[in-house]
Chain A
Amino acid sequence: MSGEHEMLFRALLYIVALGLGLLVLAKVRSRGVRQAGLLIASYALYLTWGAWFLAVLLASTVINFLIGRWLKRQPTPLVLWAGLAFNLLLLATFKYVPGITISIPVASLQKFSHLALPLGISFWTFQAMSYLFDLYRGEEIDPSLLEFALYMAFFPVVISGPICRMPDMLPQFRSQMPPSRDDIGRGLCRIATGLLMMQIAQLLGKGMLTGQGINAGFDQAAGWSGPDVWLLALGYGLQVFFDFAGYSHLAIGVARVLGFVVPENFARPFASTTPSIFWTRWHMSLSFWIRDYVFLPLAMLRREEWWRKLCLLLAMVLFGIWHKGTLLFVLFGCYHGVLLILHRQAQQVEQRFNWALAGKAWTFFSWLLTMAFISLGWIFFRANSLAQAGAMFSALISPAAYSSHVLHQSLYLLILGLAVSYAVVLVVINGLDRHSERLEAAAVTSRSELMATVIRDRWVWVAPMWAAACVLVMTLMPQARAANVFMYRSF
């Protein structure tokens, strides 16, 4: 089957699974049948990516479930570490060993370089580890094997998250309530938003003219000017945001249609006014995971300030290499770790001298600085090599590189236009939310009630509007034979 046909087949299967899942949850009250129905749909979809992938997921599920049982009987650090070691070994085998062995000239090791990465392994392995941590901490969770298997394979989130946690999911798996009309409406709205955002990400990658997108901008040999590098850094930040936040909307929306609430992954990260706020709004399910299960336990081992900062750096390096085990991702993590440490230093100076840095001008300056530094970090994330990252940073600091630009004007227009449009959409959504709150607080009149309904049930008009916008974006995009690929799938 060709790539396009395979994608179409999976999309159709996904829609069928969603429809059947919805039907089962709406009509069946038996908890076991509901859970079994969802698990069968999840495994059937996962199987389309390869039987071997499903075998790895099944093995991980059974072993983690057994370790969980052991941990519940004996909540000792030794058992916890045994469970964590199993998961880290599994992840390292598939994620990092192929990359390491490909560069070792030993024939017997070279065969490991062809190990395929089971889809979503980084996500479901982290879910398994959080389950073990939660048991060790004494959380009252007692899933059956069926419930644990569903937690690991739940189809809306198995491929690329958001990373869920057992204490949040278990009561929902056990619920016997059918999805409400509101769930379905809100879910469809999130799905439409997600599809539009992912199309915008594709448009950013490909550009409005053939070969004039961000992908081509990064893949060109060299010769970027200073403005080009700023544009690519800002544009790539937007591209990865639209792609992954779009996917997250889709996953959250599909789960919501089925009546499940899964964690949010993004909360308007481009409105952050400090790096510390940014990391509570970007890929939240992973950053909160690292905060809760790595940073805080590690940082609490000692009380000195230098130790906390070191832990912050280590946590961000882990964030980087979670994506890929390359030097560029280590540097990405280090860069953000250093940014957070510098921000902490600034906070401490502010507190020591009791400066009250507030006001609109200061907030705007802080936002601008944060966005500039966050954008530059994407160079490590996206650059094809260390040499390329070096060349791009050189262009940034060379005054001579600011006299011209190499990238096509259409890309400048596209990125700046999208950034402004996105800001306008955020302002409108904020306004609608505030207006809705005011209407709910005010005395009810027939006019205000109608307005509140239009705003509250906005999925009725937002979903078709986004779907139409999606078609418009697709028409703007140059036609290419290569299938559209979700960027975070490779992590």
Chain B
Amino acid sequence: MTAEAQQMIEHITRIMRRRGVQIDENTPLLSSGLIDSMGLLDALVKLEEVTHMRIPPGKIQPKDMDTVALMFATAQRVGKPGK
């Protein structure tokens, strides 16, 4: 696992609805109810911070962000270099 992925997992663990649940890169987050849509936005801000990318609005769907692995793949696919 990369250091960036580890940072994301630590951040998401802090904002999860249920405490004490272990997650990894492939744990479903929004679809399993571990985070809500506000939590997804928190995760998105963190993703932009760790990847130094800007994710354009309107180009992604929650299913593209449902796991940490998918978040990085989405950032790679649609992200633009941040300012």
Query: Which of A's residues lie within 8 Å of B, judged by CB?
Result: 77, 136-138, 274, 276-277, 280, 291-292, 295-301, 303, 308, 312, 344, 347, 351, 356, 358
A280 contacts across to B, CB distance below 8 A: 33, 36
A347 contacts across to B, CB distance below 8 A: 38
B80 contacts across to A, CB distance below 8 A: none
CB-CB nearest in chain A for B15: A351
Task: Determine if B75 is an interface residue (Cβ-Cβ < 8 Å).
Answer: no
Q: Write the B31-65 contact mask toward A (1 if CB under 8 angstroms, else 0).
A: 00100111011001100000000011111111000
CB-CB nearest in chain A for B35: A276
A366 to B72, CA, bound (A): 35
Whether the Cβ atoms of B19 and A358 lie closer than 8 Å is: yes
A347 to B17, CA, bound (A): 9
- 9 A-B pairs within 8 Å (CB atoms) are namely A137-B58, A292-B61, A300-B41, A300-B56, A308-B38, A308-B41, A312-B38, A347-B38, A351-B15
| B47 shortest CB reach to chain A, Å | 11
| A341 shortest CB reach to chain B, Å | 9
**Among B17, B37, B60, which residue has its beta carbon within 8 angstroms of that of A295?**
B37
Per DSSP, chain A at the interface is helix
Which of A137, A291, A296, A308 has the most chain B CB atoms closer than 10 A to its own CB?
Answer: A296
B59 contacts across to A, CB distance below 8 A: 137-138
**Among A138, A301, A351, which residue has its beta carbon within 8 angstroms of that of B57?**
A301
List 3 tightest A-B contacts by C-beta distance, closest first. A300-B57, A297-B58, A276-B36
Per DSSP, chain B at the interface is loop
A309 to B31, CA, bound (A): 22
A298 to B17, CA, bound (A): 23
Query: Which of B's residues lie within 8 Å of A, judged by CB?
Result: 14-15, 17, 19, 33, 36-38, 40-41, 44-45, 55-62
A360 to B79, CA, bound (A): 43
| A304 shortest CB reach to chain B, Å | 10
**Among B33, B56, B62, which residue has its beta carbon within 8 angstroms of that of A277?**
B33
Known contacts: A137-B59, A301-B57, A356-B19. The answer to whether A296 contacts B38 by CB under 8 A is: no
A291 contacts across to B, CB distance below 8 A: 37, 62
CB-CB nearest in chain B for A309: B38
CB-CB nearest in chain A for B65: A296
Whether the Cβ atoms of B57 and A298 lie closer than 8 Å is: yes
CB-CB nearest in chain B for A298: B57
A292 contacts across to B, CB distance below 8 A: 61-62
Whether the Cβ atoms of B60 and A137 lie closer than 8 Å is: yes
4 new A-B contacts at CB < 8 Å, known A138-B59, A308-B41 = A137-B58, A277-B17, A296-B62, A300-B56
A136 to B78, CA, bound (A): 13
A296 contacts across to B, CB distance below 8 A: 37, 40-41, 57, 60-62
A277 contacts across to B, CB distance below 8 A: 17, 33, 36
| A361 shortest CB reach to chain B, Å | 16
| B38 shortest CB reach to chain A, Å | 5
A291 to B36, CA, bound (A): 10
B37 contacts across to A, CB distance below 8 A: 291, 295-296, 299
B17 contacts across to A, CB distance below 8 A: 274, 276-277
**Among B38, B40, B55, B61, which residue has its beta carbon within 8 angstroms of that of A344?**
B38
B62 contacts across to A, CB distance below 8 A: 291-292, 296
A291 to B39, CA, bound (A): 13
Whether the Cβ atoms of A303 and B45 lie closer than 8 Å is: yes
A303 to B45, CA, bound (A): 7
